[in-house]
């Protein structure tokens, strides 16, 4: 039939979608001066001073916010 396709989108579980979303880059404002954070990836995060907007993955922004070390900027 015209306009119909047999192509089906892959279905992801809620956990898989959450995992992918946590790598989204967001803006934060650190509350204190922090040195670089080195991870397995080649990107070094947070080599910045206080009150300068910097970009980090969502998972890192949430972890820092829970510890009171940053504010997350709304998109």
Q: Are 29 and 70 in contact (CB under 8 A)?
A: yes
Residue 19 φ/ψ, nearest 5 degrees? -60, -45
Residue 49 confidence (pLDDT): 67
Structural domain spans, the chain: 14-72
Residue 19 confidence (pLDDT): 85
pTM for the whole structure? 0.69
Q: What is the pLDDT of residues 6-59, one digit of tens each?
A: 666 678 888 888 888 888 999 999 888 877 777 666 566 666 667 788 888 899
CATH assignment, 14-72? 3.40.5.50
Confidence of residue 75 (pLDDT cuts 50, 70, 90): confident
Has residue 74 got a pLDDT over 60? Answer: yes
Calpha distance 41→72 (Å, rounded)? 22
**What is the C-alpha end-to-end distance of the chain, expressed in Å?**
42
Cα angle 26-53-42, degrees, rounded to a multiple of 5: 60
């Amino acid at each position: 039939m015209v306009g119909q396709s047999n192509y089906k989108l892959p279905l992801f579980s809620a956990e898989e979608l959450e995992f992918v979303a946590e790598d989204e880059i967001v803006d934060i404002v650190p509350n204190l001066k922090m040195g670089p954070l080195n991870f397995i990836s080649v990107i070094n995060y947070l080599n910045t001073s206080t009150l300068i907007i910097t970009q980090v993955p969502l998972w890192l922004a949430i972890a820092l916010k829970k510890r009171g070390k940053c504010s997350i900027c709304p998109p």
